[in-house]
C-alpha cells in the first residue's frame, strides 16, 4: 500500500467526502508553500525555500477543474513570483483573508462547504473556520490545529501542497 492509499484509508468518511467534493482551494503562502523561514541577504533581499513537488500537484487540480488561489497577508515579491511560476493566482497584502475568500467563492459560484483552505498560523483561523475542508501543516502554530479537519503528513515547504493535491486527485477519480 502506498503512502496516499494509507492516508486515504485512515481518513474519516466525512473528510473523504469533503476532499472529493472540493471545488475551490485557497492557500496561505508562508509556512504552507514554504518552510516558514525567510533568508535575508546583506541588501535586505528575502528568499524562501519551497518544494518543486507542488507545481505538478497544482496542475492536477487545474485538470480536475478545482480552482486554486494563494491568499497572503505578506507584501512580498517572493509570494507573487513563486505563485506566477506555479501558475496559480495570488492575492497578497491582504488585511482580511476571510472577506477575500468569501468574495472569490461567490464569484466562482462555489459554496464554502465545497471550499478548502490550507494554512498554518493564527491569521488563517478565520478562513479555516469558514470552509468545509480546513487543512493545516504539522508544523503549524498550536492554536490552529483545533480548526482543521486534516493535518498533512508533509511539513510546509516540503510537499504539503502536493500531498493535498494528490489526495484530491485520487478521491475524484
- Render pLDDT for 147-167 as a digit per residue (tens, 0 to 9): 999 999 999 999 999 999 999
pLDDT of residue 75: 86
Whether the full predicted model's pTM is greater than 0.85, yes or no, is yes
Angle at which helices 53-63 and 77-86 cross, to 10°: 60
- Neighbouring C-beta atoms of residue 117, cutoff 10 Å: 29
* pLDDT per residue as tens digits for the range 50-73: 999 999 999 999 999 999 999 999
For 121, the grid coordinates are: 498560523
Q: Are 140 and 160 in contact (CB under 8 A)?
A: no
For 73, the grid coordinates are: 497577508
Q: Give the integer Cα–Cα distance in Å for 43 and 29.
A: 23
- Give me the number of domains the chain comprises: 1
What is the CATH classification number for the domain harbouring 126?
A: 3.40.50.1000
Range of the domain at 43: 3-172
For 127, the grid coordinates are: 478562513
Amino acid at each position: 500500500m502506498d503512502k496516499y492509499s494509507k492516508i486515504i484509508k485512515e481518513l474519516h468518511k466525512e473528510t473523504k467526502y469533503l476532499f472529493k467534493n472540493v471545488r475551490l482551494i485557497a492557500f496561505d503562502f508562508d509556512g504552507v508553500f514554504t518552510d516558514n523561514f525567510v533568508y535575508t541577504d546583506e541588501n535586505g533581499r528575502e528568499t524562501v525555500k519551497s518544494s518543486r513537488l507542488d507545481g505538478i500537484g497544482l496542475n492536477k487540480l487545474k485538470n480536475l477543474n478545482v480552482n486554486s488561489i494563494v491568499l497572503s497577508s505578506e507584501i512580498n515579491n517572493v509570494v507573487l513570483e513563486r505563485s506566477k511560476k506555479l501558475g496559480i493566482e495570488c492575492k497578497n497584502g491582504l488585511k482580511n483573508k476571510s472577506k477575500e475568500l468569501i468574495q472569490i467563492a461567490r464569484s466562482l459560484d462555489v459554496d464554502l462547504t465545497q471550499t478548502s483552505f490550507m494554512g498554518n498560523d493564527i491569521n488563517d483561523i478565520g478562513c479555516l473556520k469558514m470552509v468545509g475542508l480546513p487543512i493545516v501543516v504539522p508544523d503549524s502554530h498550536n492554536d490552529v490545529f483545533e480548526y482543521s479537519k486534516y493535518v498533512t503528513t508533509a511539513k510546509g515547504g516540503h510537499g504539503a501542497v502536493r500531498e493535498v493535491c494528490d489526495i484530491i486527485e485520487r478521491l475524484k477519480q
